A and B are shown apart, each in its own frame.
Chain A
Amino acid sequence: MLRIRNGKVYDPAHNVNGEVRDVCIADGKIVADVDASARTIDATGMIVFPGGVDVHTHIGGAALNFARGLIPEQHRKATPIFHSPERRAGIIGTTPTTFATGYVYAGMGWTTANEAAVPVLSAKHTHEELHDTPIIDKTCCVLMANNELVLDLLENDEHERAKEVVAWYVWAAKAYGIKAVNPGGVAGWKWGKDCKGLSDVVPGYKKVTPSKIVAALAQIADDLKLPHPVHLHCNNLGAPGNASTTIETMKVLEGRRAHLAHLQYHAYGGDDWFTMRSAAVEIAEHFNANPNLTCDAGAVLFGNTVTVTADGPWQHLLYQLTGRKWGNLDVENETGCGVVPYVYKEKNVVNAVQWAVGLELLLLITDPWRICLTTDHPNGATFWRYPEIVQLLMSFEFRKEQLKQFPDSTLSRMVLPELTREYTLGEIATITSAGPARTLGLTQKGHLGVGADADIAIYNESTDVAKMFAHPRYVLKGGEVIVEEGELRKSGLGRQFAVKPQYDESIEDYLRPLFQQHYTMSFENYPVSCERVHGLEVQPCNYCGTPHR
């Protein structure tokens, strides 16, 4: 039992906005009250947030691990974590090791993360990495929009069966949601091609188009009552002028739920790299008008990183642009992935526009419940740089300082200089915790109401926002004090949330022969068994069509 006394509490889900009050904890949950014998943390002069929830990150699995292997020279310069009785050794850097990932997230006050791109074929590998990612709770989304068994069904308009197959795959992977990456484009990449327009027919098919795939998967997520809508990485990522594709995608969804991942990468105007400019205004306008949608920023910060995505064709383009290393890994029937180390430079106009667009979307999208703070870790920047973004969002003056480094020719491509909005602490709590938890449909996360998981971050209130959010004074996970006096004191294993959507078992009779034809693994060895997922908790599929709020 524990009482956090006299903190300034921010709990947007309950409209608590900086009130000084106590938060009580028993058995890992928030409770109404505890008796006098409970341990007390004096939070006078501190602010109390629900633990951070990352709606879109790449923290484990084949693709990220491939990236780790590609950049030994970066690890050498990265911050190490020393082995001690309470923690395992590791390296932070752009692709932190699994143990480092857990410690660093928790050390910042973030207690839940959604691994956003998992091929079913290597889901066992992802779960093993997530098992070794301590402290934080995890969910993951499986890649479905280029799965050839699903595309074949959509080609023949067999939607009902496609739904069953998707449901089977989700449970086979012990996943939490459905991810769609460059729908149709990655399947095309298997032939070295792409799918840029929403009505382009996917290479190798006669009828299937990206828009068909998007609409079908969004519908399937709704029909299966998944707590999290289809997690959508739109077509045409990173390309100048791609805002039109993104807006068209919003129209294709026709009011169905969807979460648009790393929206920054899909909000560019212009015709080519020389004329590329921000289209954040248009994107935000359409987004604001579509209450069925949520998104995450996918913001970019300047510096060294490595880009990892299932979007193979984009990565090949990036390799051609940079001439640096390139890794590609195609996964049979399901997806692909590309890895390219990358440096975002202030002096590069395209990078400067990308940096601005991420912030612009965060400032132009009016409802903080519908946009989550992310960097598409490690693509836009590593997750441990989130506090830098918070600082930019909270201070117009600070942004003005930053903008001074750009010449007028660069500034004319963005709207950021005109945006005076400053985030409040309550809004920060919304985009870092309450909003993403609600978007994920994790009802026990992102708030401090009775019954919620006692995942709490306590910060020394300070005007230096970046420092404050990087170094919480206390962090609690499931009621356990993990960080105390700013030091990581304890490390436990986190849980993994999955869903078991309803499907007819007979779908296996349909899948088994197809497996023998198309896969190189036995059907029986393919699903991840429950025993292999440490701390597995099956969440209900009970989305009932109520709007986001």
Chain B
Amino acid sequence: MSCTLGEVKNRADFIIYWGGNPAECHPRHFTRYTLTPKGKFIPRGRKDRTMVLVDIRETMSAKAADIFLQVRPGKDFEMLSILRALVKGQRVSPEGVAETGLKLEQLQDLVNRMKAAKFGVLFFGMGLSMTRGKHMNSAAALTLAAELNAFTKFVAMPMRGHGNVTGADVIMRYTTSFPFGIHMGRGYPRFNPGEYSTIDLLVRGDNDATLVLGADPGATMPKPAIEHLKRTPTIVLDPKVTHTSRLSRVHITTAATGITAPGTVYRMDEIPLPLSPPLKSPYPTDEEVMRRIREAVQRKEPWYPVKSDAPQMV
């Protein structure tokens, strides 16, 4: 139950941000896509929209909201479950409501507004998807939106940060069927988040070499993971010498995406956009270096048995 951002701009009269702080993390989200622009069916822009912010603390984004609901930390899943029950007109326990830190009237009011919306949208941020409950929270948010479609039009969408992480998701899905955490060790893609996720691999010390592209785990990851990156051969491609570069065996400086390197990136709603870099880099692009590493590996003996008369890929 998702849509492109233009649908929100043109139609959404009811917008919820949950566990995100767009005012500071996605500064133009309000002005370009969701809140203030006039849309095809939203002729008066901001005046025709209602915005609700759900978060554990009153961030800068709360200033832009019509209604701010402060949920108790770690109680997002409970709150979503209560909302789902209220949407279906089911009874909810007062103790359950009390746990969320909100009043039943507030939650009922939110449900009434969601149902009364012509086109509602729920954006959920990392405050929802990366805290207690994690993907269970995301699933509950998506289900809430799906179930609201019995009453009105409602969509839900994650607020993705991190540059082109959406592109990675898209490309891994079409080449391997899976969005992330993919193991090719048997010669075909296998997916098991938790087992093949980077943090788990590094903390357990499962992998014995790492190539880091477009990220700086050395600055953000837990200590045991960083220790493992240091202990095993790590290769970094980055426009700067990063924390991770300093603990790696190989660093290659590359052109900066969109500034000195051309190519394609995906927006959070999976719309691809072409880059037009204004500057020329003295360094090669990520694409070129990755291709050359791949070609260098292709020149070596494969790790799997190959018939000697097998033809080469063209």
- Given A99-B175, A330-B4, residue A82 in contact with residue B270 (CB < 8 A): no
State the Cβ distance, B262 to closest chain A Cβ, in Å. 10
Which residues of the other chain, A, contact B211 by a CB distance below 8 angstroms? none
Digitize B93-116: 1 where CB-to-A-CB distance is under 8 Å, 0 elsewhere: 000000000000000000000000
- Whether a CB of chain B sits under 8 angstroms from the CB of A207 is no
Q: Which of B176, B184, B306 has the most CB of A within 10 A?
A: B176
- Whether a CB of chain A sits under 8 angstroms from the CB of B178 is yes
Option from B188, B272, B311 in Cβ contact (under 8 Å) with A89: B188
Which residues of the other chain, B, contact A97 by a CB distance below 8 angstroms? 174-177, 189
B191 and A76 within 8 A (CB): yes
Digitize A113-132: 1 where CB-to-B-CB distance is under 8 Å, 0 elsewhere: 00000000110110011001
Which residues of the other chain, A, contact B266 by a CB distance below 8 angstroms? 125
- Given A81-B188, A326-B146, residue A65 in contact with residue B175 (CB < 8 A): no
- Given A121-B271, A518-B40, residue A83 in contact with residue B184 (CB < 8 A): yes
Which residues of the other chain, B, contact A98 by a CB distance below 8 angstroms? 174-175
- Whether a CB of chain A sits under 8 angstroms from the CB of B310 is yes
A332 and B4 within 8 A (CB): yes
- Given A124-B272, A517-B40, residue A84 in contact with residue B310 (CB < 8 A): yes
- Whether a CB of chain B sits under 8 angstroms from the CB of A191 is yes
A332 and B7 within 8 A (CB): yes
Digitize B272-296: 1 where CB-to-A-CB distance is under 8 Å, 0 elsewhere: 1110000000000000000000000
B274 and A91 within 8 A (CB): no
Option from A82, A320, A520 in Cβ contact (under 8 Å) with B4: A520
Option from B5, B186, B311 in Cβ contact (under 8 Å) with A489: B311
- Whether a CB of chain B sits under 8 angstroms from the CB of A529 is yes
A328 to B3, CA, bound (A): 7
Option from A83, A87, A330 in Cβ contact (under 8 Å) with B3: A330
Number of A residues near B (Cβ < 8 Å) is: 62
State the Cβ distance, A96 to closest chain B Cβ, in Å. 8
- Whether a CB of chain A sits under 8 angstroms from the CB of B223 is no
Contact size class for B?
A: 35 or more
Which residues of the other chain, A, contact B306 by a CB distance below 8 angstroms? 84-85
- Given A97-B174, A190-B11, A489-B311, residue A91 in contact with residue B189 (CB < 8 A): yes
A491 to B188, CA, bound (A): 18
B174 and A132 within 8 A (CB): yes
A192 to B152, CA, bound (A): 6
Digitize A54-74: 1 where CB-to-B-CB distance is under 8 Å, 0 elsewhere: 000000101001001100100
Option from A78, A125, A191, A491 in Cβ contact (under 8 Å) with B313: A491
- Whether a CB of chain B sits under 8 angstroms from the CB of A155 is no
State the Cβ distance, A384 to closest chain B Cβ, in Å. 15
A327 and B189 within 8 A (CB): no
A287 to B193, CA, bound (A): 51
A75 and B177 within 8 A (CB): yes
A521 and B188 within 8 A (CB): no
Which residues of the other chain, A, contact B273 by a CB distance below 8 angstroms? 521, 525
- Whether a CB of chain B sits under 8 angstroms from the CB of A519 is yes
- Whether a CB of chain B sits under 8 angstroms from the CB of A148 is yes
A331 to B119, CA, bound (A): 14
B314 and A491 within 8 A (CB): yes
Nearest neighbor of A98 in chain B, beta-carbon distance: B174
B32 and A520 within 8 A (CB): yes
Option from B175, B177, B314 in Cβ contact (under 8 Å) with A88: B175
A204 and B312 within 8 A (CB): no
Q: Which of B5, B174, B304 has the most CB of A within 10 A?
A: B174
A18 to B274, CA, bound (A): 51
Nearest neighbor of A75 in chain B, beta-carbon distance: B177
Digitize B1-25: 1 where CB-to-A-CB distance is under 8 Å, 0 elsewhere: 1111111011100000000000000
Which residues of the other chain, A, contact B152 by a CB distance below 8 angstroms? 192
- Whether a CB of chain B sits under 8 angstroms from the CB of A329 is yes
- Whether a CB of chain B sits under 8 angstroms from the CB of A467 is no
- Whether a CB of chain A sits under 8 angstroms from the CB of B33 is yes
- Whether a CB of chain B sits under 8 angstroms from the CB of A90 is yes
Which residues 526-540 of A sit at the B interface, judged by CB distance below 8 A? Answer: 529, 532
Which residues 184-235 of B sit at the A interface, judged by CB distance below 8 A? Answer: 184, 186-191
State the Cβ distance, A76 to closest chain B Cβ, in Å. 7
Option from B2, B9, B304 in Cβ contact (under 8 Å) with A328: B2
A56 to B171, CA, bound (A): 24
- Whether a CB of chain A sits under 8 angstroms from the CB of B264 is yes
B33 and A191 within 8 A (CB): no
Which residues of the other chain, A, contact B184 by a CB distance below 8 angstroms? 83, 89
- Whether a CB of chain B sits under 8 angstroms from the CB of A86 is yes
A95 to B178, CA, bound (A): 11
Option from B5, B191, B274, B311 in Cβ contact (under 8 Å) with A124: B274
- Whether a CB of chain B sits under 8 angstroms from the CB of A257 is no
- Whether a CB of chain B sits under 8 angstroms from the CB of A490 is yes
Which residues of the other chain, A, contact B189 by a CB distance below 8 angstroms? 75, 80, 89-91, 97
A239 to B32, CA, bound (A): 40
A490 and B314 within 8 A (CB): yes
- Whether a CB of chain A sits under 8 angstroms from the CB of B155 is yes
Option from B7, B150, B175 in Cβ contact (under 8 Å) with A190: B7
A525 to B271, CA, bound (A): 11
- Given A68-B173, A330-B7, residue A521 in contact with residue B178 (CB < 8 A): no
- Whether a CB of chain B sits under 8 angstroms from the CB of A93 is yes
Cross-chain pairs A/B with CB under 8 angstroms, 21 sampled? A69-B179, A78-B177, A82-B188, A83-B188, A85-B311, A89-B188, A89-B189, A90-B188, A90-B189, A91-B188, A91-B189, A98-B174, A132-B175, A190-B119, A327-B1, A330-B3, A330-B7, A518-B40, A520-B5, A520-B32, A532-B274
User: 5 closest pairs, A vs B, by CB?
Assistant: A332-B6, A80-B188, A330-B3, A192-B153, A82-B187
Binding site for B on A (CB under 8 A): 60, 62, 65, 68-69, 72, 75-76, 78, 80-91, 93, 95, 97-99, 121-122, 124-125, 128-129, 132, 148, 190-192, 204, 316, 319-320, 326-333, 336, 489-492, 517-521, 525, 529, 532
Binding site for A on B (CB under 8 A): 1-7, 9-11, 32-33, 38-41, 118-119, 146, 149-150, 152-153, 155, 169-171, 173-179, 184, 186-191, 264, 266, 270-274, 302, 304, 306, 310-314
